[in-house]
A and B are shown apart, each in its own frame.
Chain A
Amino acid sequence: MSDTAYLQQIAQSDYKYGFETDIEVEKAPPGLSEEVIHYISDRRGEPDWMREWRLRAFRYFMSLLERYEETYPRWAHLKYPDIDFQAISYYAAPQRKPRYKSLDEVDPKILETFRKLGIPLDEQMRLAGVAVDAVMDSVSVATTFKEELAKHGIIFCSMGEAIENYPELVKKYLGSVVPYTDNFFAALNSAVFSDGSFVYVPKGVRCPMELSTYFRINTAGTGQFERTLIIADEGSYVSYLEGCTAPMRDEHQLHAAVVELIALKDAEIKYSTVQNWYPGDAEGKGGVYNFVTKRGICLGENSKISWTQLETGSAITWKYPSVILKGDNSVGEFYSVAFTKGYQQADTGTKMIHLGRNTRSTIISKGIAAGYSNNSYRGLVKVARTADNARNFSQCDSMLLGDKCGAHTFPYLEIENPTAQVEHEATTSKIGEDQIFYCQQRGLSEETAIKLIVNGFCKEVLAQLPMEFAMEAQKLLAIELEGSVG
């Protein structure tokens, strides 16, 4: 099984979002300095408080960089050369306009790019039932359905607009879940972050449509450092989805985003990710380095935060969407499928920090490794002394497709309360030959059989994605398994 032509094929399949858009961009000179921070703040026309906030983070990051050997996080099961933080350009924007007032101002080439990616932004063609914020490099291109959402009092805009129009909300919550001192990459992001999405759902409002952001890295030699902030006020509900792609390049590009979620009393946030950054070529050349800090806090009682992720892209993935369960009776969920092939490396999982009473968390993680890839689950479940009657259940399964790859499981259980019930289970196996034979006996090819079985393996997680995207996700997984250009 392990050396059939089909599995070989999986190991080498191609990336179909690898094209590049030829537009003129304005780009910050490579490197990090106070001038660059001012440059970013200037271009974005930011108020002083924001500039100061960036500078504080910048100084902190530089202090980390000075003690790089000590401060750089190396605990993940990942191997890659050191990143030269002075070689990256921290800002890139289409030359025509750093901020758009309407679609008419947007370079048609950019609109065409998103159309090619399946995200039409024009009035007539936009996706029904889904509001989209489209971000290319450092700038938000357009946000659809804004007026419709405004009727419900929902704010959905780029971070840049939020800083300008809703400074009080931004000041109150930005960095409240992931402070700039949190970790190496969060510090970097806080200093140089560019557009991401801002969402505020007012009290008691159930957001009537899916909110979605599509991130695209386009320009060479740049990184992407978006920042997303979602606040669900008391009793509200919102479902948010992000997708991402990048052109194929021989160089590695850095993506270091920060996402913060805040769920107040009785509120629920569902956050889904389909991550498909360029993974590098079949020899492991190029690909995005994806170092992301995602964290939500269930601040109020009975609140809920649910992360679902389908990770198929990036050369390196370092990502642990987490939930701080502060409010009593709050609920945290993490559902993940991570598929690695070629020379991809993923170290991903979650942290569930139980602080409140009767808090519950569920972790379902499915890792699939093919080719020469390494796929690790790393997850923390912490039950603090205050968290009476906390419950956690974790199920982390790995599947190996081939004998050159690795699948690893690193759970951390830290229990400091006698009433906690925490349970972790994990298995590692390959697809059973009897399963493939059974499918073949019903007329299915080996390829179809593997696809079906892998899909079945991931079903519990894929079922968590919003309906509009579940099909997309299945297709993406099928393409990943296919080893051919879509």
Chain B
Amino acid sequence: MALLEIRNLHARVEEKEILKGVNLTVNAGEVHAIMGPNGSGKSTLASVLAGREDYEVTEGEVLYDGKNLLEMEPDERAREGVFLAFQYPVELPGVNMATFLREALKAIREHRGLPPLSPAEFMKLLKEKAALVGLDPSLKQRSVNEGFSGGEKKRSEIFQLAMLEPRLAILDETDSGLDIDALRAVADGVNKLRSPDRAFVIITHYQRLLNYIVPDYVHVMVDGRIVRSGDKSLALELEEKGYDWIKEEVGLVA
């Protein structure tokens, strides 16, 4: 059974249809990249998978581990192992990072039938995972995302991914706005977290990140649909030629 099965997914925000029939199958252990021009619906797909309320699914279904993902509350999805690295991580003023993660980890572990970590175990894990993405462990004293630089925010998303050990990780433009060092750190983190029972869906506008994280599959999304799929060479082709030729091929540009 596939880990994630998206069938003919249609979604809209207010009156505007953004996803117009997305089909995608992701198996455990795979890394999928979804590329596409601005406004093609990539980030909407990520938001719909995570359960953001602003989007209304009008058609189609999403099976996660055989279960109907769309019926689950956002926190239920997270506890089932769906993780979204936000394109714009939200600031939570005054909410301490360590407290936040302790609560999150507790909820997720409880769902998996595991006891909460002892404070010592938790701190050890936190240090270990912070090191993985090259984050200063002093961040645990800080408020979630508040006053973080752009790079820190993105690293912090990967750090949280490492802490919460999801089965399906969706990275929504995690590479945008990163300098080359931060990009490497993020990619390093992701590579270390690749495992046979974890899948990644990496949403990106540029090929750049894929130099560091080599995907098993590359999909191109245009106007709310996946119009082409291939291996990593497709990404290089896109880098070279841009998106227009694909748009032309699928008949979206006159």
Contacts and interface: CB of A to CB of B under 8 A. Distances in A.
Q: Do A and B touch each other in the complex, judged by CB within 8 A? A: yes
A435 interface: yes
A158 to B, nearest CB: 38
B74 A437 contact: yes
Given A441-B50, A441-B83, A442-B100, A458 B94 contact: yes
Contacts of A455: 94-95
Interface residues of B, number: 33
Interface of A: 432-435, 437-446, 448-449, 452-453, 455-460
A456 B104 contact: no
B84 interface: yes
B94 A437 contact: no
B143 A438 contact: no
Contacts of B105: 443
A448 B101 CA distance: 12
A445 B75 contact: yes
Nearest to A432: B90
15 contacts: A435-B92, A437-B52, A438-B89, A439-B100, A440-B51, A440-B73, A440-B75, A441-B74, A441-B75, A443-B78, A444-B75, A444-B78, A444-B104, A448-B107, A452-B95
A65 to B, nearest CB: 45
B53 A441 contact: no
B108 interface: yes
Contact of A442 (B53, B73, B78): B78
In the complex, the 7 A-B pairs of residues with the closest C-beta atoms, listed nearest first: A456-B94, A456-B95, A459-B94, A443-B78, A440-B74, A438-B90, A440-B75
A444 B94 contact: no
B107 A456 contact: no
Contacts of A443: 75, 78-79, 104-105, 107-108, 111, 164
A442 B92 contact: no
A446 B99 CA distance: 16
Interface string B65-91: 000000001110111000110100111
A319 to B, nearest CB: 24
Contact of B92 (A439, A458, A460): A439
A433 B51 CA distance: 13
Contact of B93 (A433, A442, A456): A456
A442 B92 CA distance: 13
Contacts of A446: 75
Contacts, number: 83
A445 B78 CA distance: 10
Nearest to A457: B94
Interface in B223-247: none
Given A443-B78, A455-B95, A456-B143, 19 more contacts: A435-B91, A437-B51, A437-B74, A437-B90, A438-B92, A439-B100, A441-B74, A442-B101, A442-B160, A444-B104, A445-B107, A448-B107, A449-B75, A452-B100, A455-B94, A456-B92, A456-B93, A458-B94, A459-B95
A448 B83 CA distance: 18
B50 A452 contact: no
A306 B234 CA distance: 65
Given A443-B79, A444-B107, A434 B73 contact: no
B103 interface: yes
Contacts of A449: 75
Contacts of A460: 94
Nearest to A446: B75
Contacts of A439: 75, 92, 100, 104
A364 to B, nearest CB: 12
Nearest to B80: A443
A437 B96 CA distance: 17
A433 B74 CA distance: 12
A67 B95 CA distance: 51
B234 to A, nearest CB: 29
A443 B102 CA distance: 11
Contact of B103 (A434, A435, A444, A458): A444
Interface string B38-79: 000000000000111100000000000000000001110111
